[in-house]
Amino acid sequence: MAGNGPPPKPWERVGTSSGPAPFKPPSGGTTSDVVEASGTAKPGEVVSPAESNAGFSGNNTVSRPLPPRPWQQQQPGYGNSYGGYGATTYNSYGGFGGAYSSGAGGLYGNNMYSGYGGGYGGSYGGSGMYGGSMYNNGMGNPYGGMAMSPYNQGPNSFGPPAPPPGFWVSFLRVLHGAVNFSGRVAFLLSQNTQAFHMFITALLQLCDKSGMLYSELVIFALRLLGVKTKPKKGKLQGAEVPSLERPGQQFVEAPKANKNSWEKSGAGFTASQEKMGEITNMMEYQAIAKQKLPKMAYDYYASGAEDEWTLKENREAFSRILFRPRILIDVSTIDMTTSVLGLKISMPIMIAPTAFQKMAHPEGEYATARAAAAAGTAMTLSSWATSSVEEVASTGPGIRFFQLYVYKDRKVVEQLVRRAEKAGFKAIALTVDTPRLGRREADIKNRFVLPPNLTLKNFEGLDLGKMDQAADSGLASYVAGQIDRTLSWKDVKWLQTITTMPILVKGVITAEDARLAVHSGAAGIIVSNHGARQLDYVPATISALEEVVTAAQGRIPVFLDGGVRRGTDVFKALALGAAGVFIGRPVVFALAAEGEAGVRNILRMIREEFELTMALGGCTKLSDITRRHIFTEDDRLGRPLPRL
């Protein structure tokens, strides 16, 4: 034991100033006992109390030899006899247990502030390095190194540092909280998986928006642990920078598009587009339009009837149709051209009629007409346009249809149809689903009325161009007073007597009406639910399309209007038998955001998306797109997959 002694005690280290405090022996003892035990005096030598305490200052500075170590003691009971001298209040050496002392550092090692009470407990000593003091409940090893006191963190401790006071209580509280939280999360997961996923998604989005990407979180954690990480060289693409317009907000600066790449097609990026970042799909224009437009105008364009269930379903129904692409087909050349009513267009994507376009942009229908002509496709002008048929025709050549509401005064209708034909319009799109206006609650709340600087240009000289203020919706009052509720299938035949233009019946969603349209002599059918603005809870147009196509039996072309936002939507519609599609709201939102450039841009984007879908689906021309390329909800419910 003497050959392998323990590490030096704190007061044995060079430069250590901390030492024992003066003490007074109990009655019957003298300081000579301690001095004798330390080996600094001969046995029996008497040292006066003043001399024995002379080396102990108020700062516990050691200036004389220390008591003997346990391994220097020869007798097991020797430590106990001197352990009794640790009873003073500030004694740093309270109780020096002997080599085999089982006492807690001696009888008086339990003094109140003994810094090293029982510090020399022997092999079987019960006291630790700080054993026996008021703040030590130590359980010592041979040299007190494994004492478990809350403050036993001395330099000679062989074990881990003891936790601070109250650690275990706090630990149990934290553990209880963690278990409770885990239980609540487990309950939430079992009761509402969707809500749990929404919570996690929101949490991850919060991390993203605060600029902490996942890789950066790992780096951050490593730095907390003291692991050095090298910063990436150069500026990180897409780094978030603070917005000057809205304090506290952040935005991701998108890479600038190559302007020259689109100038050839006549669809260049505008300065405002560069400022807000590149638009990557037509749906992004809606958020921009919402910021730019007055609430009454935006709500008119964006809202649907009543609960707006059909408005949502028009989009969601597309998502339930899946692709069955073909592979290993040469798609180096894609041909998207088609003909509508004998008129050749660049793609099977046309512009639907939307009213009051000058509420969205000062150029209104002019800009839309020019953009459609530049894209080589058809535009449909609304009866309730804020530009007349003659004004739109003056913008230049182009394929244009005229959407018609039948008024009570048939002379007005007849005059309007003939004006459109004279202006070079190629077809009539007869709206048949509006004997009365649907209940559009947003318009009722906003008391919708056309702004005073705008009129229904096609009716301006007929005293029908103004819309009066009403108790609910000014448009609903206008329709109630002007639109003919007696409209029937015989009126389709009547229209054929006053014009040579082909007539498309717009608003068919059932097989029964499709057959009647064929029998009435219609040139084509537009499957439409009026943008979900008339009767709520009717099927989405893409859901009704196949039924109508089957009923038409190929005798007349069937087109789709409603919910189209992607090139994939166009492909799905054509796979279900449509001859082409119309887009409405995206045109108005793009017009509000960027005028003519916005309309050009959405036509370019949807064309490119459609071309890509054709290539990935294994189709090089429109006639290659068949029912076998998609898998619908009806197929999943029982109809077998198409066989080759």
Catalytic residue chosen out of the listed positions 197, 361, 519, 530: 530
Extended strands (E) in 486-579:
503-508, 524-527, 558-561
The DSSP H or E segment spanning 344 is: strand 343-345
Are 488 and 495 in contact, with CB atoms under 8 Å apart? Answer: no
Helix intervals (H) in 382-510: 389-393, 410-422, 441-446, 474-482, 489-498
Closest among 456, 482, 301, 345 to 391, alpha carbons compared: 456
- DSSP class per residue in 224-261: HTT---PPPSSPPTT-EEE-SSSTT-EEE-PPPP-THH
Are 600 and 301 in contact, with CB atoms under 8 Å apart? Answer: no
- DSSP class per residue in 364-403: HHHHHHHHHHHHT-EEEE-TT-SS-HHHHHTT---EEEEE
Q: Please state, in angstroms and rounded to a whole number, the distance separating the CA atoms of residues 93 and 88.
A: 9
Q: At what angle do helices 541-552 and 511-519 cross, to 10 degrees?
A: 50
Phi-psi region of 44 (alpha: psi -120 to 50; beta: other; left: phi over 0): left
Instruction: Specify burial of residue 392 (Cβ count, 10 A radius: 0-12, 13-18, 19+).
Output: buried
Instruction: Note the maximum CA span of the chain.
Output: 143
**Positive or negative torsion for Cα 542, 547, 548, 549:** positive
Token pair 């007849």: residue: 414
| SS3 assignment, position 121 | coil
**Contacts of residue 192, Cβ cutoff 8 Å, sequence gap at least 6:** none
The DSSP H or E segment spanning 583 is: strand 580-583
Q: Which amino acid is at 353?
A: P
Task: Give CB contacts under 8 A, 24+ apart, made by 466-475.
Answer: 471/447, 472/443, 472/444, 472/447, 473/437, 473/440, 473/443, 473/444, 473/447, 473/448, 474/447, 474/448, 474/449, 474/450, 475/437, 475/443, 475/448, 475/449, 475/450
Q: Please state, in angstroms and rounded to a whole number, the distance separating the CA atoms of residues 26 and 86.
A: 9
Active-site residue, 530 included: yes
Q: Please state, in angstroms and rounded to a whole number, the distance separating the CA atoms of residues 357 and 43.
A: 116
Catalytic residues: 530
